[in-house]
Structure 1
Amino acid sequence: MDAAEFFGRHLDRNPILGIFRNLDPPATVRMCERAWASGIELIEVPVQTADAYPSLRAALDAARANGKSVGAGTVTTAEQLAAVSELGVAFTVAPGLHPEVAAESLRLGLPHLPGVATSTEIAAALARGFTWLKAFPAAQLGADWIKAQLAPFPGVSFVATGGIDASNAAAFLAAGCRGVALGSALNDPDALERLRKVTNY
């Protein structure tokens, strides 16, 4: 599926992308189930190290059983992309714009969310056909950065990632982000309730 169609379909229904990093397989599945129960549709399990793959496999098994979508994050090489694609991930995410990953994801037809932090990177991503982009590190860039970049790049859909929680998610959405990515904040039931209010889902 086209990346823009995939991310738009899911994040327009619920703008939160859950990121569950450095958790063992049972804890990863528990967090996935909690997120799904709260209405979150997309889950990312980063695979920056080989020991993260068992957690990704467990999340994928749970996703298949529940009709949900799980992707792999921190995919920075074509080899990683091939490995997670074989496991059956629904999408991939990267911290930056990695040319070989971007090219291979297009070849495979696997939705990919590359990271950007500058106007030059946004332009390069658009030139490759990517309109959904991960604004990273979002807390350091700030919500005003989103507004500033949407002026020259109105066709970009940003997912704010890095340092996002219930205290600042609304500001990034108000600035024009189509999604926000959260990790540890989703472990707090009170934070989940605050997120429901500020994201209107």
Structure 2
Amino acid sequence: MSIDNSWFDTAFGPTPLMAILRGLGRARTIRTAQTAWELGIQLVEVPLQSPGDIDTLAELADLARAEGFAVGAGTVTTREHVDQARRAGARFVVSPGWDLDISAYAADHGLHPLPGVGSATDVQTATAQGLTWLKAFPAAALGRNWITLMKGPFPHTRFVATGGISATNADTFLEAGAQAVAVGSSLGDPDQLPLLAKIAARV
């Protein structure tokens, strides 16, 4: 079995940032997504952790489609989550850990999987299935050196550093070898927006 998630090569092409909009409620999620889009962030993730998140994801997916952006579902840990994401119009799904069944099921249903990894075993297992983009999680706990060390044996793997990332430490993970970083609360902090704009412009 081979799972192709090289779609992220193009999706992350314009900017090395992804926005995670967790537990903000419908109105704040829409506003924050628009802030992200204005910064040039084209990928927005809405974690599915309550029934209301599915409705918010669907509405945001419609708005994103009209603007040429992509919205994904986060915290996807079951096939049901994948089905909910697909019905809501998500383009990709993000998981906290590595699960072959979830990644394969998502790919089979037209969604691009971005599974989480936190060890060399995870990375080796995921890349053996053909995946080239992986979510390094929790990035702040793993540390920037983890990215550098993993790039040694897995030089072609592209990591999205996620978990504890803000505008103030994003650059350190990018400099360590991550291809992208995911930010959340930074998008609601006016002091961090100029830093995010600078990172978003980095290619």
Code of the aligned partner of 1:57: A
8 Å Cα contact 1:170/1:199 also seen in 2: no
8 Å Cα contact 1:56/1:72 also seen in 2: yes
Partner in structure 1 of residue 109 of structure 2: 108
Q: By how many angstroms is 1:12 displaced? A: 2.5
Deviations 1:31-80 (A, max 9, x none): 11111011111000000332311221221122123221100001100111
Residue 36 in structure 1 maps to residue 37 in structure 2: yes
Q: By how many angstroms is 1:190 displaced? A: 2.5
Q: By how many angstroms is 1:198 displaced? A: 4.4
Q: Secondary structure at the match of 2:62?
A: helix
Deviations 1:92-148 (A, max 9, x none): 100001222112022223211000000000011112211100000000001100000
Partner in structure 1 of residue 164 of structure 2: 163
**96-105 vs 71-80, which moves further:** 96-105
**154-163 vs 56-65, which moves further:** 56-65
Q: Secondary structure at the match of 2:191?
A: helix
Q: Secondary structure at the match of 2:24?
A: coil
**114-123 vs 63-72, which moves further:** 63-72
**Match of residue 5, structure 2, among 3, 6, 12:** 3
Code of the aligned partner of 1:70: V
- Gap change, CA 1:63 and 1:137, over 3 Å in 2: same
Partner in structure 1 of residue 140 of structure 2: 139
> Taking CA–CA contacts closer than 8 Å with sequence separation of 6 or more, which of the two structures ends up with the larger relative contact order?
2
**81-90 vs 68-77, which moves further:** 81-90
Code of the aligned partner of 1:56: L
8 Å Cα contact 1:12/1:178 also seen in 2: no
Q: Residues 1-150 of structure 1 correspond to what in structure 2 (within 5 A)?
A: 2-4=4-6, 6-150=7-151
CA RMSD of aligned residues (A): 1.6
| Residues in 2 aligned to 1:144 and 1:155: alpha-carbon distance in whole angstroms | 17
Which consecutive segments of 4 or more residues in structure 1 shift more than 4 A?
none
| Residues in 2 aligned to 1:150 and 1:55: alpha-carbon distance in whole angstroms | 36
Structure 2: segments with no counterpart, 5+ residues:
none
Structure 1: segments with no counterpart, 5+ residues:
none
The size of the alignment, in residue pairs, is 200
| Residues in 1 aligned to 2:174 and 2:120: alpha-carbon distance in whole angstroms | 20
| Residues in 1 aligned to 2:200 and 2:178: alpha-carbon distance in whole angstroms | 11
TM-score, L = length of structure 2: 0.93
TM-score, L = length of structure 1: 0.94
Q: By how many angstroms is 1:192 displaced? A: 1.8
| Residues in 1 aligned to 2:76 and 2:162: alpha-carbon distance in whole angstroms | 15
- Gap change, CA 1:44 and 1:197, over 3 Å in 2: same
| Residues in 2 aligned to 1:75 and 1:102: alpha-carbon distance in whole angstroms | 10
